[in-house]
Structure 1
Amino acid sequence: MVNPQTQGSPGSYIIRDIQQMVWVLNEYNSLIAVPCTRDDKPVSILTMPCTDTELNDGGEGSLIYMGVKGMDLCLYCGEVENYPTLQLEEENIMDLYKEKTAQKPFLFLHCTEGSTSTFQSVAYPGWFIADSSEGHQPVTLTQERGKTYTTNFYFDPEK
C-alpha cells in the first residue's frame, strides 16, 4: 500500500468500502456512496501529506489532506447545528499542502487496519469518515465505528 506521507505530488485514489460502495459526486457537489456499477464513475481522491512538523509526531498513521481530483474541492470537517459534519469546501489541495501551519478542519489521520484504511478527523478526534450500507447516502462522519456506518475503506491507487 502506498503511504501518502511520503508523496511529493498528489496521490490519486479510488475509495470503496467492503460492500463495494464507491464515492461519487452528486449534482450538489456532495460526496455520496453508491454501489459500484459501470454507470457510476467514482471520484478520484487526491491526497497530500501535512508538512506541519509540530503536528507530525511520527505516531501511528499519516496526516493527509484529501481533495477531489480535477476540482478545487477538499474534504472539510465543520459543524452544522453543533454536530461535526463532513463537507466539501472550495480549496486547492496544493495550497493546503504549502501552508506551514496545519489546516486542521481539512486534515485527516490516515491509518491502516489490515488491508483497509480509516480516516479520522484531526479537528474532531474520534470522528471518522463513514458511509452507510444503504446506497445513495452521503459520505459523513461518525463516532460509532462498526455499527450503522462503515468506517473502513479500501484505498486503491488510481490506475
Structure 2
Amino acid sequence: MDKDKELVRNIPWFRQIQDLDGRVWVFQNESLTAVQRKAHTVPVTIALISCRYPEKLEEGKGDPMYLGLKEPERCLFCIKDGEKPMLQLKVSVKNKEDVVKPFVFYHNKSGTTSSFESAAFPGWFIAIYANGASPVFLSQELGKTHITDFWMTMV
C-alpha cells in the first residue's frame, strides 16, 4: 500500500451523529444515549477511522471502520452477553492485536444517512429506540421499532 493511502486510512473523520428526529448521541453515565437536541445539549464527537486490516473482514459489507469517542477517549465494541450481542464502550485500544472484529463496524451510506453493522455479529446494527431518550445499542430490528439510519454532521 502506498503512503498516501495509508495516511488517509489513519486520519479520523470527526462527526456528530443524530437521527432524523433531531436526537443526538451524548455521553452520560459512562454510556452513549440519544437525546433530543436542545440549546444546552452537547453531542459527543465520534471519530470514524478506517480499519487497518480489511483483509481480515468480509468484503462487500460496507466500509470497515472503528468508531470512537473523541472526549472522553473511548471506543465502541461488541461482545456477546448471554444470547445476544451488546454494544459497549472501552477505554481506547492501543494494542493492534486487540483491534479486530469486535471493534469494527461496516459503515453503509444510503442517500444522506448512514448505518453501522457489527463485523463481529453480522446482521446486528447500531440502533436507538424510535421514541424519546434512548440508549445506543445493537439490534436486528431494522426499520421496525428501532432506528438504525443516522445523519452524520461535520464537527
The verdict on how the C-alpha distance between 1:33 and 1:8 changes in structure 2, with shifts beyond 3 A counting, is same
Q: Percent of counterpart pairs with the same letter?
A: 37
Report deviation, 1:55.
3.0
Selected match of 1:8 from 10, 16, 27: 10
* Cα distance in 1 for residues equivalent to 2:53 and 2:97: 6
Q: Assess if the C-alpha contact under 8 Å between 1:130 and 1:141 holds in 2.
A: yes
Task: Name 1:75's counterpart in structure 2.
Answer: 76
Q: Assess if the C-alpha contact under 8 Å between 2:77 and 2:88 holds in 1.
A: yes
Matches within 5 A, 1:104-143: 104-143=101-140
Report deviation, 1:81.
2.3
Q: Please identify, of 72-81 and 99-108, the stretch whose mean Cα deviation from structure 2 is larger.
A: 99-108
* TM-score w.r.t. length of structure 2: 0.87
Question: Which secondary structure state, in structure 1, belongs to the residue aligned with residue 11 of structure 2?
Answer: coil
Q: Please identify, of 76-85 and 139-148, the stretch whose mean Cα deviation from structure 2 is larger.
A: 76-85
Task: Name 1:87's counterpart in structure 2.
Answer: 88
* TM-score w.r.t. length of structure 1: 0.85
Report deviation, 1:8.
3.0
Say what the alpha-carbon RMSD is for the aligned residues. Answer: 2.0
Matches within 5 A, 1:6-85: 6-27=8-29, 29-55=30-56, 59-85=60-86
Task: Name 2:4's counterpart in structure 1.
Answer: none
Q: How many residues align?
A: 149
Task: Name 1:3's counterpart in structure 2.
Answer: none
* Cα distance in 1 for residues equivalent to 2:126 and 2:31: 14
Per-residue CA deviation, residues 70-112 of structure 1 (Å, 9 max, x unaligned), is 22310111122221111111224xx36xx27851111000000
Question: Which secondary structure state, in structure 1, belongs to the residue aligned with residue 142 of structure 2?
Answer: coil
Per-residue CA deviation, residues 107-132 of structure 1 (Å, 9 max, x unaligned), is 00000011100000000000000011
Task: Name 1:146's counterpart in structure 2.
Answer: 143
* Cα distance in 2 for residues equivalent to 1:58 and 1:138: 30
* Cα distance in 2 for residues equivalent to 1:53 and 1:106: 12
* Cα distance in 2 for residues equivalent to 1:91 and 1:16: 23
